[in-house]
Amino acid sequence: MSDFSTPPYLLQQGTSVRRVMVQVLLALLPGIAAYVWLIGPGIVVQLGLATLAALAGEALVLGLRRKPLALFLSDGSAIVTAWLIALSFPPLAPWWLIVVGTLFAVIVGKHLYGGLGQNPFNPAMLAFAACIVSFPALMSQWPTLGLQLGFAEQLKMIAGLAPRVDVMSGATPLDALKTALKLSNGSVDVPTLLATQDVFGNFAGRGWEWVASAYLLGGLWLWQRKLISWHAPFGFIAGLSSLALLLWGWNPQQFANPVFHLFSGGALLGAFFIVTDPVSGCTTPKGKLIFGLLAGLLAYIIRVFGGFPDGIAFAVLLLNLCVPLIDMYSQPPIFGLKDEP
């Protein structure tokens, strides 16, 4: 049974999809370690649940489509999708939420479009969007920091055996900032909020800032291994932080600084692991840069002015729609010709 080779436009040649996916999973490990250490071990359960659900969904559809099970199940792409879903969902969400999200991603997001390499939308972001639209309350319940729950208690909560409401009053740092600004109606400014509220740490959300830093570390490793090119992450970070810088420079009382935005929410996870998706993202170097830039701008607009806790998922999905257009207008010149393609 032969293995898949990667598409010719990837930088590292002569590898298989499996090797790429394993390295992406390795690059996620620092982030997961920081997550377990600072936020709680519940995420391990979610990662396991998502992986099982992804493999089960994949096996089901492969069986229906009469495709070779072992070849596709071992390529690791479903596991990458599963891990990205688990990392973007609230860590103490009930078990069925992540199972539903992952099954939706694998079955509707990936296989209904033709399976590996055929999906126009990022499956993980599709799962996030479907779930946040369907279950907004559950998707916005993040554990309050300082909530010291043992592993057993976290497990009980994920299994749905423990009551949720009284301990799950937390919001993401982004949400906390947005809500505080809205409630105060101009009487509180961002620097005071960042300095006084417990949710915020040194430069972004308490705890979350280090998780994001670990994602950055993993992403840089991927770049150094030449598994991703610099274009998409750079574009995304540039898009997000330039708009943040502009608004922060204009009114630092009402808008948080670019560093806060970069290290909050899913920004760095998105920059290195989601906009770099070789299937649903652009393929040309210039296209990747444009894709990242626009996704970053949109993500900022949605997360700051929109009603949802974070904007990465919707920004990426909207840009996924534009990929064929961007690719068409960003073809590199043919070798030997000067400018015109």
Residue 272 DSSP label? I
C-beta neighbour count of 335 within 10 angstroms: 5
* Nearest CB to another protein, comparing residues 63 and 252: 63
In angstroms, rounded to a whole number, what is the distance separating the alpha carbons of residues 184 and 148? Answer: 29
**Considering the complex, what minimum distance in angstroms separates the CB of residue 272 from another protein?**
28
Which residues, including other chains, have CB under 8 Å from residue 221's CB and lie 6 or more apart?
Answer: 27
C-beta neighbour count of 14 within 10 angstroms: 8
**Residue 137 backbone dihedrals phi, psi, to 5 degrees:** -65, -50
**Considering the complex, what minimum distance in angstroms separates the CB of residue 131 from another protein?**
8
* Nearest CB to another protein, comparing residues 113 and 221: 113
**Considering the complex, what minimum distance in angstroms separates the CB of residue 138 from another protein?**
7
**Considering the complex, what minimum distance in angstroms separates the CB of residue 44 from another protein?**
24
* Nearest CB to another protein, comparing residues 138 and 171: 138
Cβ–Cβ under 8 Å, residues 233 and 291: no
* Nearest CB to another protein, comparing residues 40 and 109: 109
CA dihedral over 222, 279, 6, 73, signed as positive or negative: positive
Q: What is the CA radius of gyration of the chain?
A: 20
3-state secondary structure of 149: coil
**Considering the complex, what minimum distance in angstroms separates the CB of residue 158 from another protein?**
15
* Nearest CB to another protein, comparing residues 135 and 234: 135
**Considering the complex, what minimum distance in angstroms separates the CB of residue 180 from another protein?**
28
In angstroms, rounded to a whole number, what is the distance separating the alpha carbons of residues 143 and 139? Answer: 11
Question: HSE of 1 in the Cβ direction (CA atoms, 13 Å)?
Answer: 8
**Considering the complex, what minimum distance in angstroms separates the CB of residue 107 from another protein?**
11
CA 239 to chain centre: 16
In angstroms, rounded to a whole number, what is the distance separating the alpha carbons of residues 73 and 61? Answer: 11
* Nearest CB to another protein, comparing residues 23 and 122: 122
**Considering the complex, what minimum distance in angstroms separates the CB of residue 315 from another protein?**
17
**Which helix (H) or strand (E) element contains residue 23?**
helix 17-38
Chain contacts with another protein (rule: CB under 8 A): 100, 108, 112, 130, 133-135, 138
Q: For the chain, how many residues are written? A: 341
* Nearest CB to another protein, comparing residues 26 and 133: 133
* Nearest CB to another protein, comparing residues 317 and 326: 317
* Nearest CB to another protein, comparing residues 138 and 313: 138
Cβ–Cβ under 8 Å, residues 290 and 273: no
CA 229 to chain centre: 18
**Considering the complex, what minimum distance in angstroms separates the CB of residue 136 from another protein?**
8
Phi-psi region of 264 (alpha: psi -120 to 50; beta: other; left: phi over 0): beta
3-state secondary structure of 142: strand
